[in-house]
Amino acid sequence: MQPIVLTEWYVASPETMPELVGLELGNDKARQLAEALTRNGRLAVLELRRGLRIETTSFVGSLRIGPIQLSIQPKLQGMPLLNLLRYAYGLRHLELFSPQKQGVQPDAFQDLLCHQLAAEAEELISRGLHRRYERRHELLASPRGRIDFTQLAGRAGTAQSSLPCIHHPRLQDTLINQVLLAGLQSAARLTHDLPLRTHLRRLAALLDDQVTPVRLVAETMQQVRHQGDRLVATYQPALAIVELLMEAQGTVLEAGERGVPVPGFLFDMNRFFQALISRFLHDFLPAYTVRDEYRLRDMLAFVPERNPQSRQSPTPRPDFLVQDGSRTVALLDTKYRDLWAETLPRDMLYQLVIYALSQDPVGQAIILYPTLNSAATEAWIEVRDPLLSSRRALVVLRPVDMSKLACLVSAPRTATHDRATREYAYQLAVGGEFSVRAKA
């Protein structure tokens, strides 16, 4: 296997990376996987005359494609990335590892999640796993609970040394512990860090004696979420990590086709970035109402007499709507692509134009994008009337300084810190100076 290490949103070719010269996918299975990844926008792999060309997107992680072991790293690494992951998904600040060791290994991103899962599981085990009372019907030589006289009457005339009993033992073999065990086993298979793999297997062995393994599927995760209550609130960070690991593995889903197995781990940083901005705005814009994935109803509609297949009208859905009472303050969309260093793709621009035109008289839509360049400033794109050259709408490209955001969400809470954090949230959502209204 040829190891290839790339970063997100990067194009590697035989001209820029000698390791790709002369490589071929080799077989139909590898080509089928490459085609599926390309169609789904996760990764683009092309066979050229001189070798392979690989174009990465917002997905990070590692996987095997033909003769190569590909690792895709996020540009933000180490403790800043871990702090943002913790904040976005509500993970606890547990002592995990030496920060200097992270960001060095090719598979550092998924190892961050695996390290956090190990720490969460260790904390749960040390405090004692959750137990539930379960109703059991058993034949017992030493009776417990109450005797099932109905069943006993049916056994009249037979001599046995046990009695049918109904009792309620308090067991660790509950669905939430089964999911935790399956998550630890899955993480142990995923990581290439041998000490971490050993640690995960040791934690799984502590549960394996009293907990039955379960298969991690969407229905299982949905069921365990429905069973959640205040008694298992401490499990929520671990469940969030298990769900992230589960969703980043498995198959490439294609409509109307069978799934193509993915031998590895691919995590969509777009989802992470949206979750991060969502929590940040909800936490630090107390004077405003933030609505996630708000539907712009009735903006686009089929003409009834010109809709022969009776299809449902498309509904644009920006990531966030910010309101001051009933007044719309901002329409926000998040894209995990550094638009300070990269160009704005046409599909992103057209999407934002639709959002901006949904408002009167001159609408505005904002795209929030991550960057590590502290000098990045916002850019404006006018949507003009082609005849009158007047402004019809405005698209704003607003950078999110990820290093600054990581410091804000991980710093100790003080009055000065809270004011600085609310000011940055206001600037991201509304722009301009921090107003008196935003201080409330």
Separation between Cα atoms, residue 312 and residue 188, nearest integer Å: 45
Place of tokens 């499990």: 235
**Which phi and psi angles does 331 have, rounded to 5°?**
-110, 120
Separation between Cα atoms, residue 213 and residue 224, nearest integer Å: 14
- Predicted pLDDT of residue 250: 59
CB 70 within 8 A of CB 106: no
- Predicted pLDDT of residue 198: 93
What mean pLDDT do residues 61-85 have? 87
What mean pLDDT do residues 8-13 have? 92
Per-residue pLDDT band at 106 (split at 50, 70, 90): very low
Give the pTM: 0.82
- Predicted pLDDT of residue 437: 46
Convert the pLDDT of each residue in 189-228 to its tens digit.
888 888 999 999 999 999 988 888 888 888 888 888 888 7
Q: How many CB atoms sit inside 10 A of residue 186's CB?
A: 18
Provide the residue count of the chain. 440
Is pLDDT at 105 greater than 60 in this prediction? no
- Predicted pLDDT of residue 149: 82
Convert the pLDDT of each residue in 144-186 to its tens digit.
888 888 888 877 767 778 888 988 888 888 889 999 999 999 9
- Predicted pLDDT of residue 94: 60
Separation between Cα atoms, residue 120 and residue 239, nearest integer Å: 10
- Predicted pLDDT of residue 433: 59
**Among the listed ranges 60-69, 117-126, 157-166, which one has the minimum average pLDDT value?**
157-166
What mean pLDDT do residues 23-33 have? 86
Is pLDDT at 231 greater than 60 in this prediction? yes
Domain positions in the chain: 2-74, 78-130+173-249, 285-439
- Predicted pLDDT of residue 255: 41
What mean pLDDT do residues 291-318 have? 89
Is pLDDT at 370 greater than 90 in this prediction? yes
Q: Which of 331, 210, 338, 227 is nearest to 273 (CA)?
A: 338
Q: Which of 21-25, 53-57, 123-127, 187-191 has the highest mean pLDDT?
A: 53-57
Please report the sign of the dihedral spanned by the C-alpha atoms of residue 261, residue 266, residue 270, residue 275.
positive
Is pLDDT at 32 greater than 90 in this prediction? no
Convert the pLDDT of each residue in 305-360 to its tens digit.
989 999 988 888 999 999 998 888 889 999 999 999 999 999 999 999 999 888 87
Please report the sign of the dihedral spanned by the C-alpha atoms of residue 93, residue 98, residue 101, residue 105.
negative
Per-residue pLDDT band at 64 (split at 50, 70, 90): confident
Place of tokens 């600037």: 427
DSSP assignment of 309-373 equals: T-PPPP----SEEEEETTEEEEEEEE--S-TTTSPPPHHHHHHHHHHHHTSTTTEEEEEEEEES-
